[in-house]
């Protein structure tokens, strides 16, 4: 299986990934045992990149992935999930990028997935009401996010045209975002800054 490096990160994934959205009752009835078998067969074949979202079947897709990753399959997988794709009270599509929501969504995804670390955390829909922090030396618009090294390895956005760059600080400590909770540094006293 060919491998691909994502952006300027050290994260490598299989060239073929498995999008899990249709493996829950999003478009109609699904055979859960068959869906789990599909995930495991993909992992056994070397396709380790699994993509889901908290929005797919209201989190049930992440719960399905939890069951698929049991019995040692988690060690074979690069788990990607997304946040920010929400419904308004009247059922219309919306976006939420508020720091408090991102932390809450991350913790809920970790619980539904039954894992300690989300390998790749995407911003599914960009919330244009959240101020953009300019932290890139070239002053390009960017979103600066601090997440715990123990909970999220990498953060990306799946709507890059809306935010040209995403500046991510990965550090050890509690899940937090700049301005909401102080981020902590790793054992050497530094954080790692990844440019996507």
Residues labelled catalytic: 56
């996507």: which residue's tokens? 196
CB atoms within 10 A of CB 98: 15
How large is the greatest C-alpha to C-alpha distance in the chain, in angstroms? 50
Crossing angle of helices 60-68 and 32-44, rounded to 10°: 60
- The DSSP element (H or E) to which 45 belongs, if any, is none
Distance CA 93, CA 193 (A): 32
DSSP E strand stretches across 38-195: 49-51, 78-83, 85-87, 93-95, 118-123, 142-148, 152-157, 165-171, 192-195
Residues 6+ apart with CB under 8 A from 54: 62, 81, 82, 83, 85, 105, 108, 109, 112
């Amino acid at each position: 299986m060919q491998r691909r490096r994502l952006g300027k990160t050290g994260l490598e994934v299989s060239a073929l990934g498995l999008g899990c959205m249709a493996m829950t009752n999003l478009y109609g009835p699904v055979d859960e045992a068959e869906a789990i078998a599909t995930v495991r067969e993909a992992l056994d074949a070397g396709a380790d990149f699994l993509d889901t979202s908290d929005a797919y079947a209201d989190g049930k897709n992440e719960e399905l992935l939890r069951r698929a990753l049991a019995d040692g399959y988690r060690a074979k997988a690069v788990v990607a999930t997304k946040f920010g794709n929400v419904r308004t009270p009247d059922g219309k599509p919306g976006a939420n990028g508020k720091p408090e929501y991102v932390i809450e969504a991350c913790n809920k995804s970790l619980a539904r997935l039954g894992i300690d670390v989300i390998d790749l955390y995407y911003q599914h829909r960009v919330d244009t009401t959240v101020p953009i922090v300019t932290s890139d030396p070239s002053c390009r618009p960017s979103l600066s996010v601090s997440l715990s090294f123990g909970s999220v390895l990498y953060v990306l956005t799946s709507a890059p045209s809306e935010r040209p760059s995403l500046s991510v600080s990965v550090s050890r400590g509690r899940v937090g975002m700049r301005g909401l909770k102080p981020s902590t540094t790793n054992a050497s006293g530094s954080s790692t800054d990844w440019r996507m």
